[in-house]
Protein backbone atom coordinates (compact mmCIF):
# COMPACT_ATOMS: atom_id res chain seq x y z
CA UNK A 1 0.00 0.00 0.00
CA UNK A 2 2.78 2.40 0.93
CA UNK A 3 4.53 1.72 -2.40
CA UNK A 4 1.38 2.58 -4.33
CA UNK A 5 1.03 5.76 -2.30
CA UNK A 6 4.63 6.80 -3.10
CA UNK A 7 4.14 6.12 -6.81
CA UNK A 8 0.90 8.10 -6.83
CA UNK A 9 2.56 11.08 -5.13
CA UNK A 10 5.44 10.94 -7.61
CA UNK A 11 3.01 11.10 -10.55
CA UNK A 12 1.19 14.04 -8.94
CA UNK A 13 4.46 15.94 -8.48
CA UNK A 14 5.51 15.27 -12.08
CA UNK A 15 2.13 16.46 -13.37
CA UNK A 16 2.24 19.68 -11.31
CA UNK A 17 5.83 20.38 -12.42
CA UNK A 18 4.91 19.92 -16.07
CA UNK A 19 2.07 22.45 -15.99
CA UNK A 20 4.16 24.95 -14.04
CA UNK A 21 7.18 24.82 -16.37
CA UNK A 22 6.46 22.77 -19.50
CA UNK A 23 9.65 24.01 -21.13
CA UNK A 24 11.65 21.62 -18.97
CA UNK A 25 9.99 18.75 -20.84
CA UNK A 26 10.75 20.01 -24.31
CA UNK A 27 13.62 17.56 -24.62
CA UNK A 28 11.04 14.90 -25.49
CA UNK A 29 10.11 16.80 -28.66
CA UNK A 30 12.36 17.41 -31.64
CA UNK A 31 13.09 21.12 -31.91
CA UNK A 32 13.00 22.28 -35.51
CA UNK A 33 16.16 24.02 -36.66
CA UNK A 34 15.82 27.58 -37.83
CA UNK A 35 16.86 27.94 -41.45
CA UNK A 36 19.78 30.37 -41.81
CA UNK A 37 18.94 33.74 -43.31
CA UNK A 38 20.60 35.43 -46.24
CA UNK A 39 24.24 36.41 -46.18
CA UNK A 40 24.82 40.13 -46.01
CA UNK A 41 26.30 41.42 -49.26
CA UNK A 42 30.07 41.07 -48.75
CA UNK A 43 32.32 44.07 -48.92
CA UNK A 44 34.61 43.58 -51.92
CA UNK A 45 38.09 45.08 -52.19
CA UNK A 46 40.23 44.95 -55.32
CA UNK A 47 43.80 43.78 -55.03
CA UNK A 48 46.14 42.65 -57.81
CA UNK A 49 43.23 42.96 -60.23
CA UNK A 50 41.04 40.60 -58.18
CA UNK A 51 37.85 41.33 -56.21
CA UNK A 52 38.32 39.88 -52.71
CA UNK A 53 35.37 39.46 -50.28
CA UNK A 54 36.31 40.70 -46.83
CA UNK A 55 35.89 38.37 -43.84
CA UNK A 56 36.01 35.16 -45.86
CA UNK A 57 38.57 32.41 -45.17
CA UNK A 58 39.80 30.24 -48.05
CA UNK A 59 40.87 26.62 -48.33
CA UNK A 60 43.58 25.77 -50.93
CA UNK A 61 40.96 23.55 -52.59
CA UNK A 62 39.00 26.72 -53.50
CA UNK A 63 36.21 26.56 -50.97
CA UNK A 64 35.51 29.30 -48.42
CA UNK A 65 34.28 29.67 -44.85
CA UNK A 66 32.38 32.64 -43.41
CA UNK A 67 32.09 32.75 -39.62
CA UNK A 68 28.57 33.46 -38.34
CA UNK A 69 28.92 32.60 -34.66
CA UNK A 70 31.34 31.12 -32.11
CA UNK A 71 31.13 27.72 -33.81
CA UNK A 72 28.93 28.30 -36.86
CA UNK A 73 30.07 29.09 -40.40
CA UNK A 74 28.77 28.95 -43.94
CA UNK A 75 30.79 27.36 -46.70
CA UNK A 76 30.84 27.68 -50.49
CA UNK A 77 33.11 27.74 -53.53
CA UNK A 78 35.27 30.72 -54.46
CA UNK A 79 35.16 32.84 -57.62
CA UNK A 80 38.25 31.15 -59.08
CA UNK A 81 36.51 27.77 -58.92
CA UNK A 82 33.22 29.22 -60.18
CA UNK A 83 34.88 30.77 -63.22
CA UNK A 84 37.03 27.76 -64.00
CA UNK A 85 34.01 25.43 -63.90
CA UNK A 86 31.56 27.75 -65.69
CA UNK A 87 28.09 26.28 -66.21
CA UNK A 88 26.97 24.14 -63.28
CA UNK A 89 24.34 21.51 -64.01
CA UNK A 90 23.97 19.94 -60.58
CA UNK A 91 25.54 19.97 -57.12
CA UNK A 92 25.45 16.98 -54.75
CA UNK A 93 26.17 17.80 -51.09
CA UNK A 94 26.87 14.99 -48.61
CA UNK A 95 23.71 15.83 -46.61
CA UNK A 96 22.54 17.42 -43.39
CA UNK A 97 23.55 16.04 -40.00
CA UNK A 98 26.68 14.52 -41.55
CA UNK A 99 30.10 15.11 -40.02
CA UNK A 100 32.77 16.28 -42.44
CA UNK A 101 36.47 16.76 -41.78
CA UNK A 102 38.53 19.69 -42.96
CA UNK A 103 39.87 18.80 -46.40
CA UNK A 104 37.34 15.96 -46.88
CA UNK A 105 34.96 15.88 -49.85
CA UNK A 106 31.79 17.81 -49.03
CA UNK A 107 30.20 18.21 -52.48
CA UNK A 108 30.40 17.16 -56.10
CA UNK A 109 29.73 19.69 -58.86
CA UNK A 110 28.55 18.33 -62.20
CA UNK A 111 29.35 20.37 -65.29
CA UNK A 112 28.70 18.64 -68.59
CA UNK A 113 30.47 15.28 -68.46
CA UNK A 114 32.83 16.40 -65.69
CA UNK A 115 32.29 15.72 -61.98
CA UNK A 116 34.36 17.92 -59.69
CA UNK A 117 34.82 16.98 -56.02
CA UNK A 118 35.36 19.89 -53.65
CA UNK A 119 36.52 19.69 -50.04
CA UNK A 120 35.19 21.25 -46.88
CA UNK A 121 37.22 24.22 -45.60
CA UNK A 122 36.35 23.37 -41.99
CA UNK A 123 35.47 20.40 -39.81
CA UNK A 124 32.04 19.94 -38.28
CA UNK A 125 28.47 18.78 -38.79
CA UNK A 126 26.37 20.12 -41.66
CA UNK A 127 23.32 21.77 -40.09
CA UNK A 128 21.72 23.30 -43.19
CA UNK A 129 21.99 23.22 -46.98
CA UNK A 130 21.16 26.05 -49.36
CA UNK A 131 18.48 24.24 -51.36
CA UNK A 132 17.69 27.39 -53.33
CA UNK A 133 21.20 27.35 -54.77
CA UNK A 134 21.06 23.62 -55.49
CA UNK A 135 17.78 24.06 -57.34
CA UNK A 136 19.19 26.98 -59.34
CA UNK A 137 22.96 26.37 -59.68
CA UNK A 138 23.38 29.60 -61.67
CA UNK A 139 23.50 31.33 -58.27
CA UNK A 140 26.59 29.30 -57.37
CA UNK A 141 28.34 30.13 -60.64
CA UNK A 142 27.44 33.82 -60.76
CA UNK A 143 27.20 34.77 -57.06
CA UNK A 144 29.38 32.30 -55.12
CA UNK A 145 29.86 34.53 -52.04
CA UNK A 146 26.24 35.45 -51.35
CA UNK A 147 23.27 33.66 -52.94
CA UNK A 148 25.46 30.74 -53.97
CA UNK A 149 26.58 29.59 -50.51
CA UNK A 150 26.40 25.80 -50.14
CA UNK A 151 25.95 24.77 -46.51
CA UNK A 152 26.03 25.80 -42.86
CA UNK A 153 28.48 23.93 -40.64
CA UNK A 154 28.68 23.76 -36.83
CA UNK A 155 32.38 23.46 -36.08
CA UNK A 156 33.43 22.99 -32.42
CA UNK A 157 37.05 23.71 -33.38
CA UNK A 158 36.39 26.60 -35.74
CA UNK A 159 39.25 28.81 -34.44
CA UNK A 160 41.69 25.91 -34.92
CA UNK A 161 40.35 25.19 -38.41
CA UNK A 162 40.69 28.84 -39.42
CA UNK A 163 44.42 28.75 -38.73
CA UNK A 164 44.77 26.35 -41.69
CA UNK A 165 42.96 28.69 -44.11
CA UNK A 166 44.13 31.57 -46.30
CA UNK A 167 42.90 34.83 -44.83
CA UNK A 168 43.19 38.63 -44.85
CA UNK A 169 46.05 40.13 -46.84
CA UNK A 170 47.23 36.67 -47.97
CA UNK A 171 44.12 36.00 -50.09
CA UNK A 172 45.00 38.23 -53.07
CA UNK A 173 48.59 36.92 -53.49
CA UNK A 174 47.34 33.36 -53.16
CA UNK A 175 44.65 33.82 -55.84
CA UNK A 176 47.13 35.61 -58.11
CA UNK A 177 49.50 32.68 -57.71
CA UNK A 178 46.65 30.33 -58.72
CA UNK A 179 46.07 32.38 -61.89
CA UNK A 180 49.81 32.25 -62.68
CA UNK A 181 49.91 28.47 -62.22
CA UNK A 182 46.84 28.10 -64.40
CA UNK A 183 48.44 30.17 -67.15
CA UNK A 184 51.51 27.95 -67.00
CA UNK A 185 49.42 24.78 -67.27
CA UNK A 186 47.23 26.10 -70.10
CA UNK A 187 49.48 28.55 -72.02
CA UNK A 188 47.30 28.53 -75.16
CA UNK A 189 44.45 30.06 -73.12
CA UNK A 190 46.54 32.76 -71.46
CA UNK A 191 44.78 35.71 -73.09
CA UNK A 192 41.32 34.44 -72.17
CA UNK A 193 42.25 33.97 -68.53
CA UNK A 194 42.35 37.68 -67.82
CA UNK A 195 38.90 38.34 -69.26
CA UNK A 196 37.20 38.67 -65.87
CA UNK A 197 39.35 40.66 -63.49
CA UNK A 198 42.27 38.26 -63.61
CA UNK A 199 40.11 35.16 -63.07
CA UNK A 200 39.86 32.27 -65.55
CA UNK A 201 37.37 32.81 -68.35
CA UNK A 202 34.08 31.14 -67.45
CA UNK A 203 33.97 27.48 -68.48
CA UNK A 204 37.67 27.14 -69.22
CA UNK A 205 37.73 23.67 -67.68
CA UNK A 206 35.42 22.29 -70.36
CA UNK A 207 37.53 23.63 -73.24
CA UNK A 208 40.82 21.93 -72.46
CA UNK A 209 41.91 18.42 -73.39
CA UNK A 210 40.84 15.62 -71.00
CA UNK A 211 44.37 14.98 -69.72
CA UNK A 212 44.88 18.69 -68.98
CA UNK A 213 41.45 18.80 -67.33
CA UNK A 214 42.43 16.02 -64.95
CA UNK A 215 45.67 17.81 -64.12
CA UNK A 216 43.71 20.99 -63.33
CA UNK A 217 41.31 19.08 -61.07
CA UNK A 218 44.20 17.61 -59.11
CA UNK A 219 46.08 20.90 -58.94
CA UNK A 220 43.32 23.24 -57.89
CA UNK A 221 40.61 21.10 -56.27
CA UNK A 222 42.93 18.59 -54.58
CA UNK A 223 40.88 15.71 -56.02
pTM of the model: 0.81
Residue among 210, 214, 107, 218 nearest 153 (CA): 107
Residue among 74, 119, 127 nearest 96 (CA): 127
Query: What secondary structure does DSSP assign to 72-121, as a single string?
Result: EEEEEE-HHHHHHH-S--EEEE--TT-EE-TTSEEEEEEETTEEEEEE-S
At a CB cut-off of 8 Å and minimum separation 6, what does 104 contact? 119, 120
- Tens of pLDDT along the chain (223 residues) come to 444 443 444 444 444 444 444 433 333 333 344 567 788 899 999 887 789 999 999 999 999 999 999 999 999 999 999 999 999 999 999 999 999 999 999 999 999 999 999 999 999 999 999 999 999 999 999 999 999 999 999 999 999 999 999 999 999 999 999 999 998 999 876 665 555 556 787 899 999 999 999 999 999 998 7
Amino acid sequence: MSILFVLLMFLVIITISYFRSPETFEFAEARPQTAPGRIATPKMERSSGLAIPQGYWFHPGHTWSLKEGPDDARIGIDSFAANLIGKIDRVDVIGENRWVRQGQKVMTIHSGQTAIDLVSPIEGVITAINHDALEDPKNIAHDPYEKGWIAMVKSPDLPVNEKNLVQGPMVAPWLQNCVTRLTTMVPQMAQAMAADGGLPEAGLLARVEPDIRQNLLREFFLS
